[in-house]
Amino acid sequence: MRATVLQLKCELQARFDVPLGVRKTAETERIPTGISAIDQLTAGGIPRGALTEICGAESSGRTALMFALLGQSTRRGECCAWIDAAGAFDPASAEEMGVDLTRVLWVNCGGNTEYALKSVDLLIQAGGFGLVVLDLADTPDKEARRIPLASWFRLRHAAERTGAALVAVERQINARSCSVLQIEMRRKRPVWIGKLLRGFHTEAESRKHYRTHTTELFVVR
């Protein structure tokens, strides 16, 4: 048996780098989100040159997480693109989270998912962006599921080629094997103090690493 395996290895060595083994991938650079629980969950942040999916229901903290990431990226002097399928981006909220808006290219697709996909493809192929966000958070599940896997593969390859961190914000996982990191956000309960909505508890789970962390997001009115 051992001899057969060795013979197979020798024959496959010429064609494959690591026959009958696991290929060691290079350590990818990551953008920290600034939220310690999320950085702990993702082993340092969102990876560059790869597709990451962040999914969850409404009021689960997806946008707060993305604005935190956007703030970190723009503070480093990087240019970022926010492709907004529904046109839900709120510049005031982003600025409160420390986002340098002058470094953000916002594309408001007015509810057209197809335009959003074409725009993200054009922008990521152009290169030079540190972070590209595809915001499909308000896109109905039925429509998001219709995005062909080939489109996700194309985007993943473009991200790998240009080195940009590509993040898709959705209600549920759509890109499946094309994404290297999947974070599911779950809302727990809102926190009301007096007449103010102070924030809510939310939970984040890494779908590919099977790790779960609970974090709190706060709002100040």
Partner 1 sequence: MFACLHAPGNVALLVECARGFSPHIEEIPPGTVIFDVRGLASLYGPPAMLAREIERRVGMPANIAIASNPDAAMHAARGFPGITVIEPGKEAATLAPLPLNLLGGSPDTAELLHLWGVRTFGDFAKLPPLGVAARLGNEGVELQRLAHGNGYRQLRPIADPLDFQAEIELDYPVELLEPLAFILARLLGEVCGALAARSLATNEIRLRLALENAPEHATSLKLPVPMLDQKAFLRMLQLGLNGRPPAAPVLKVYLAAEPVKPRRTQQGLFVPSSPEPEKLELTVARVRHLVGQDRVGTPEISDTHRPDAFVMRAFAPSSASMAIEEAPEEAPPQPRLCLRRFRPPRYAQVLVVNYRPVRVISQSVQGRVVMAKGPWRTSGEWWREDAWNRDEWDVALEAGGVYRLFQEVDSGRWFVEGSYD
Closest approach, Cβ 101 to partner 1, in A, equals 6
Residue with tokens 């219709």: 146
| Number of other residues whose CB lies within 10 A of the CB of residue 181 | 23
Closest approach, Cβ 67 to partner 1, in A, equals 5
10 or 126: whose CB is closer to partner 1? 126
CA atoms within 13 A on the CB side of 215: 22
19 or 98: whose CB is closer to partner 1? 98
109 or 155: whose CB is closer to partner 1? 109
- The whole-angstrom distance between residue 103's C-alpha and the CA centroid of its chain comes to 19
Beta strand segments in 33-180, E: 46-47, 50-56, 80-84, 104-108, 131-135, 165-170
Residue with tokens 């046109």: 87
Report residue 107: phi and psi, to 5°.
-115, 110
Closest approach, Cβ 142 to partner 1, in A, equals 13
Residues 6 or more apart in contact with residue 153 via CB below 8 angstroms: 178
Closest approach, Cβ 2 to partner 1, in A, equals 50
35 or 159: whose CB is closer to partner 1? 35
Cβ–Cβ < 8 Å for 183, 52: yes
Closest approach, Cβ 150 to partner 1, in A, equals 20
| Number of other residues whose CB lies within 10 A of the CB of residue 51 | 27
9 or 205: whose CB is closer to partner 1? 205
